[in-house]
Amino acid sequence: MKTLKVILAEDHHIVRDGIKMLLDKTDIIDVVGEAINGKQVLDMLDSGIKADVILADMNMPEMDGLSLVKEVTRRKLNSNVVILSMLDNYKYVTEAFAEGALGYLLKNVGIDELVFAIRQASKGQKYLCAELSFQYMNSAIQQSETTTAKPGYAIDLSSREMEVLGLIAEGLTNNEISDQLFISRRTVEGHRQALIEKTGVKNTAVLIRYAYQNGILK
């Protein structure tokens, strides 16, 4: 198997040393350069050092990871960039890929996933770490559940249903709501089910989120 040449850009010495130690233990990765910012990476490439992959932190002094990605893309350099960062904000992730990065990893990834991402990038393939992939997938599912519900303005809720909804949002159980409103537990269950059916959501958690997003609860 071909040995992959990697330049490691990370301004925190302890973190950089730890990553290098892990990579050095693999059979397929050779760390050919270390840098504390993007400018040093470019200087290495200009001096003739060749790297299949640049593993770069997002936050670095003088030239950060995103600026490095932009410059590598602009110069059409023969190295692919994988971002290794503490930042899990969707904005940073999408911007990094949009500017030409081929990987985005959180710093809590294991060595196996890190090596896999480097291998993918060396082949010109994109990779988003598993934690962020699941996070964004769950977010998309929740957004879908909310947007497929019926619009708030079209829902006709009775005053009792509004009372029940408010108490559900406060975290009260069916029994507690029953005691507070002096109605039977079965009646509370009926109101809860009616609220779910009227809003078109799948469960109570989505019901509460929907109610706040659509101004039913404030």
Q: Is residue 116 pLDDT above 80, yes or no?
A: yes
pLDDT digits (tens, 9 = 90+) for 202-211: 888 888 888 8
Q: If DSSP states are collapsed to H, E and C, what string results for the chain?
A: CCCEEEEEECCCHHHHHHHHHHHHCCCCEEEEEEECCHHHHHHHHHCCCCCCEEEEECCCCCCCHHHHHHHHHHHCCCCEEEEEECCCCHHHHHHHHHHCCCEEEECCCCHHHHHHHHHHHHCCCCEECHHHHHHHHHHHHHHHHHHCCCCHHHCCCCHHHHHHHHHHHCCCCHHHHHHHHCCCHHHHHHHHHHHHHHHCCCCHHHHHHHHHHCCCCC
Calculate ∠ Cα 105-111-114, nearest 5°: 35
Q: Is residue 162 pLDDT above 70, yes or no?
A: yes
67-84 core/surface letters (b: 16 or more CB in 10 A; e: else): bbbbbbeeeebebbbbbb
Mean pLDDT of the chain: 89
Per the model's pLDDT, the better-predicted residue between 93 and 139 turns out to be: 93
Stretch 170-178: mean pLDDT: 90
Per the model's pLDDT, the better-predicted residue between 194 and 144 turns out to be: 194
What is the predicted pLDDT for the residue at 66? 95
**What percent of the chain is predicted at pLDDT more than 90?**
58
pLDDT digits (tens, 9 = 90+) for 18-60: 999 999 999 899 999 999 999 999 999 999 999 999 999 999 9
